[in-house]
Amino acid sequence: MSRAVIIGSGSCIPPKPVTNDMLSRIMDVSDQWIRERCGVENRYYVEEGTSTSDLGMAASSEALKMSGLDGNEIDLIIFATMTPDYYFPGCGGLLQSKLGIKNVPSFDIRQQCVGFLYGNATACAVKWFPDQRGLATGLVVFGYGAGTALFNWFIEALIESKGIQATYLYLGIAMLIVLLPLSLLFKYPQRQPTRATGSGNTSQEISPDYKPLEMLKTHQWYLIYFSFAFTISIVLIFGAQMKMVAKEFNIPSDYFKALLFLFPLGNGLSRVIAGSISDKIGREITMVIFYSLLSFSILFFVWLAHIPFLFVAIVFIVALLGGAPFALYPATIGDYYGPFYSTTNYGITYTAKAFAGIISGWFCGWAAMHFGTFKFPLILVAICSLIAAILSTPRIMKPPVKTSPG
């Protein structure tokens, strides 16, 4: 990746324009009302039957044509989207099939437009700071958890006072002034042999590099994948269903509004705290501690959430514990499978978030409707978090031993 260059780009705009005037005929809005609030004049609808991977194929074909490359010269496919064709398989594999590319890895990053930045930022943390991977990844992903708490109020106030278009303009200028010069200071450090300080056994040298298919052949990766999916589903449940959960427990709106700040803040802090602790006592022990406490916190929440103050306090504690996997697993992938392929290896592992989305969204909603309460899905994920804690004990979760060179 240090020698990567952009030699081709492509885009795909669906053929059916939909103007504000067209929307005003079916909605109680006007062209002026829409433009003042979001600055949008037109949007484009796809034809029925067109999928996200279809749009990706059209854009990728354009990029390949510009680059002058044949599809079979591609080494890796990364598909960043929050609207996949299916939760599984991912759009990356579908795009690979539609382009007729064989024998290359592909994966999705479900982080919408920042997916590319997320994948690269976590990979840099893993590769550049092997002695403090937990803290480094924790600080990187802190922004994705706590950024909303730190900047949302400011951005909302700016939108209210200046409008959406001016807000985008000011934010864009600020990014160019601050981020672009900082990015030019990045320098890939010289790779040196070091010790995997967070892998439980600090006496061992860092793990050799595993290619993605080699990683998938180790049983440790499946333990990581299961634990990742179920532990982050707890955070996603509160992120997606918190309003409905608060309604079930009759929580006053003022308490709920406090959580709009406290929950993302706790979620972000959790990543830094857990990552830093894991550098000192090992990833596996840190997982056992955080996942066990997370499980018990959910059980206490089910028992005491009808008390408004305790509702807020326990949800904040859940956030302080539940963000840990986002720092622990990028670091663990680097510890176990080496830094060289860590971008791809963690990208594949990150698809666990898709299954967590199914658990926190579809399954949680279905269970709440079927049983008439959110208590059942919450108890279930609490049990799964406790199972994840057991699976993460050093007796079970151990770095793989690579017996053949690769």
Task: Indicate which CATH number applies to the domain containing 54.
Answer: 3.40.47.10
Sorting pLDDT into bands at 50, 70 and 90, what band is 204?
Answer: very low
Mean pLDDT of the chain: 83
Is the model's pLDDT at 342 over the cut of 50?
A: yes
For 316-341, the pLDDT digits (tens) are 999 999 999 999 999 999 899 988 88
Q: Read off the pLDDT band of 402 (50, 70, 90).
A: confident
Residue-wise pLDDT tens digits, 124-133: 788 788 888 8
pLDDT at 357: 82
139 and 74 in a common domain: no
* Domain finish residue from 109, 127, 145: 109
pLDDT band at 2 (very low <50, low <70, confident <90, very high): low
Q: What is the mean pLDDT of residues 196-216?
A: 67
Q: Count of alpha carbons within 13 Å of 180, Cβ hemisphere only?
A: 7
Does one domain contain both 157 and 279?
A: yes
> Domain containing 372: what range?
135-177+195-391
Residue-level pLDDT at 203 = 38
Residue 368 belongs to some domain of the structure: yes
Look at residues 94, 109, 124 and tell me which one is the last residue of a structural domain. Answer: 109
Percent residues over pLDDT 90 in the chain: 29
Specify if 398 maps to a domain. Answer: no
My answer on whether 89 and 144 are in the same domain is no
- Co-location of 243 and 102 in the same domain: no
Say how many domains are in the chain. Answer: 2
Predicted TM-score (pTM) of the model is 0.69
Identify whether 187 is part of a domain: no
For residue 120, pLDDT beyond 50: yes
| Lowest pLDDT segment from 43-52, 103-112, 335-344 | 103-112
Residue 41's pLDDT is 82
* 405 domain residue, yes or no: no
What CA dihedral angle connects 108, 109, 110 and 113, to 10 degrees? -120
pLDDT at 241: 77
pLDDT tier for residue 152 given thresholds of 50, 70 and 90: low
Distance of alpha carbon 11 from alpha carbon 60, whole angstroms: 8
User: What is the pLDDT confidence band of residue 202, given thresholds at 50, 70 and 90?
Assistant: very low
383 has a pLDDT exceeding 60:
yes
Q: Is 158 domain-assigned?
A: yes
What integer pLDDT is reported at residue 224 of this predicted model? 95
Same domain, 377 and 309: yes
Q: Measured between alpha carbons, how far is 201 from 400 in angstroms, rounded to an integer?
A: 12
47-69: average pLDDT: 90
At 4, is the pLDDT very low, low, confident or very high (cuts 50, 70, 90)?
low
Residue 363 has pLDDT above 80, yes or no: yes
CATH number at residue 252: 1.20.1250.20
Q: Identify whether residues 226 and 96 lie together within a single domain.
A: no
- Scanning 305-324, the segments in alpha helix (DSSP H) are 308-322
What confidence tens digit (pLDDT) does each residue in 282-308 have? 999 999 999 999 999 999 999 999 999
CA dist., res. 318 & res. 353, Å (int): 18
Q: What is the pLDDT of residue 369?
A: 82
Same domain, residue pair 79 and 200: no
Shared-domain flag, residues 146 and 240: yes
Question: What does the pLDDT read at residue 75?
Answer: 80
Give a yes or no: residue 2 inside a domain: no
| Domain's final residue, options 56, 74, 109 | 109
What pLDDT score does 219 carry?
93
Asked if 216 and 290 sit in the same domain, the reply is yes
In percent, how much of the chain has pLDDT > 70?
88
Mapped onto helix, strand or coil, the DSSP state of residue 321 is helix
Residue 119 included in any domain: no
**Same domain, yes or no: 96 and 166:** no
Q: Taking 50 as the threshold, does the pLDDT of residue 238 lie above it?
A: yes
What value does the mean pLDDT take over residues 360-367? 82
Q: Is the Cβ–Cβ distance between 138 and 276 less than 8 Å?
A: yes
Predicted confidence band at 277 (pLDDT cuts at 50, 70, 90)?
A: very high
- H helices of 163-208, in order, are 164-184
282 and 237 housed in the same domain: yes
- Range 111-117 average pLDDT: 62
Model pLDDT, residue 386: 95
C-beta atoms surrounding 188 within 10 Å? 11
Q: How many CB atoms lie within 10 A of CB 232?
A: 26
Q: Are residues 246 and 293 in the same domain?
A: yes
In a domain, 53, yes or no: yes
Instruction: Tell me: pLDDT of 201 over 50.
Output: no
Tell me the two tokens of residue 108.
């999705």
